[in-house]
């Protein structure tokens, strides 16, 4: 059961032909005039992305790019785990496991592989990279068992890193990966040298004293969090309560999947990045199984009551979720790096979420922050 098997992405042409046929036969929903996105993702955005998917997006080019890196599959705890494994040529390299979220995928990290593994400067730290697909996501395929929440995934990543021979390593995460990575540090503290994330999802506990003396920046962060909860959290509620009901629509309609997932991809992102992620879900049949991660997390019985102690670093981006240090330090007792960056363009707005996919949007900045954080630990 510990076998590690080589893997190659090779989608049958018949699947691509079926996808294109479904895109051509899309039944478009009615839309009220002049409401923009107040009722949800608007037709014009989805139509533009669907047209690109049908007429301009090159799946085979993406397939070749992914296949240019060593890929493998291994079974852990009853599930097939797909991962990229790129080793640096540097003998002093540190191993990292990088975890994506939803509706992202391993595509999030393709732009940082080269600078992290083979930095131009010999003075910059280098890294061996392990980039797995979360169970139920992408090339890991649909899950065959229940319970794949952040804690079980973290335990699987620990097994994966040990199976690959890494007894000392770091954990990096974005979105759902920012929930998984700290748990890796919690569960394997003697081997995890540090945890680096782009969000620290720590929220008010309900104690009124927590709000006393909050800075203007922290108050603005709370307001942004409230806005997101009021306007954009329907996906979280549905995933957490009835993912299987939603799965019927996502599994049958590529445009339905495109609209559902695209609502969480900022409008400032390039279309091919959005489509690369959506296409992976469609072609692997994991549109529905990926949403189960939210259900499993919402119904988890594990609820750690003590803060993490592994050295932790945050690289936060202005258009993304804004972590509040007061709350974060309640949940993570060893935060040694806290940096904020603003990569939003002049037209960036609420639907842009600039920096949420920092490894793609601002790879130089993220790579620099990761280097600085792990250099501190060395």
Q: Cα 253 from chain centroid?
A: 23
DSSP 31-91: --TT-TTTTSS-HHHHHHHHHHHHHT--HHHHHHHHHTS-EEEEEETTEEEEEEEE--S-T
Query: Does residue 140 contact residue 132 with C-beta atoms inside 8 Å?
Result: yes
Q: Please give the Cα distance from 191 to 159 (Å, whole number).
A: 12
239 is catalytic: no
DSSP 267-296: TTS-HHHHHHHHHHHHHHT-HHHHHHHHHH
Q: Please give the Cα distance from 102 to 337 (Å, whole number).
A: 25
* Torsion of the alpha carbons at 182, 92, 75 and 293, rounded to the nearest 10: 20
Selected catalytic residue, list 166, 169, 281, 294: 294
166 is catalytic: no
Q: Cα 47 from chain centroid?
A: 25
Selected catalytic residue, list 356, 357, 360, 369: 356
Q: What angle do CA 311, 168, 125 make, to 5 degrees?
A: 75
Selected catalytic residue, list 80, 175, 297, 369: 175
294 is catalytic: yes
Catalytic residue positions, numbered: 175, 294, 356
């Amino acid at each position: 059961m510990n076998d590690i098997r080589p893997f190659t992405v090779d989608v049958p042409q018949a699947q691509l032909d079926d996808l294109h046929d479904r895109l051509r036969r899309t039944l478009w929903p009615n839309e009220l005039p002049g409401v923009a996105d107040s009722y949800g993702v608007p037709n014009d955005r989805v139509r533009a992305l669907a047209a690109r998917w049908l007429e301009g997006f090159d799946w085979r080019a993406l397939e070749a790019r992914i296949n240019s890196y060593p890929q493998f599959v291994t079974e852990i705890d009853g599930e097939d785990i797909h991962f990229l494994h790129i080793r640096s040529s540097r003998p002093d390299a540190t191993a990292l496991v990088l975890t994506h979220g939803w509706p992202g995928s391993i595509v999030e990290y393709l732009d940082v592989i080269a600078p992290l593994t083979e930095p131009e400067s010999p003075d910059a730290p280098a890294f061996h990279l392990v980039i797995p697909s979360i169970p139920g996501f992408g090339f890991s395929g649909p899950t065959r068992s229940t319970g794949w929440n952040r804690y079980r995934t973290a335990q699987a990543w620990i097994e994966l890193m040990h199976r690959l021979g890494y007894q000392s390593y770091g954990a990096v995460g974005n979105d759902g990966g920012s929930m998984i990575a700290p748990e890796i540090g919690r569960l394997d503290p003697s081997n995890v040298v540090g945890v680096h994330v782009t969000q620290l999802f720590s929220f008010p506990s309900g104690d009124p004293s927590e709000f006393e003396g909050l800075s203007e920046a922290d108050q603005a962060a709370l307001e942004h969090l409230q806005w997101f909860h009021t306007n954009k959290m329907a996906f979280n509620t549905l995933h957490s309560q009835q993912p299987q009901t939603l799965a019927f629509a996502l599994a049958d309609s590529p445009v339905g999947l495109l609209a559902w997932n695209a609502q969480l991809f900022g409008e400032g992102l390039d279309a091919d990045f959005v489509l690369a992620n959506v296409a992976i879900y469609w072609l692997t049949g994991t549109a529905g199984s990926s949403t189960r991660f939210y259900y499993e997390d919402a119904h988890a019985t594990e609820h750690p009551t003590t803060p993490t102690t592994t050295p932790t670093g945050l690289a936060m981006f202005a258009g993304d979720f804004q972590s509040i240090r007061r709350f974060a330090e309640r949940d993570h007792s060893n935060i040694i790096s806290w940096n904020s960056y603003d990569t939003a363009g002049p037209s960036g707005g609420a639907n842009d979420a600039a920096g949420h996919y920092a490894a793609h949007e601002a790879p130089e900045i993220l790579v620099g922050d990761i280097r600085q954080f792990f250099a501190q630990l060395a």
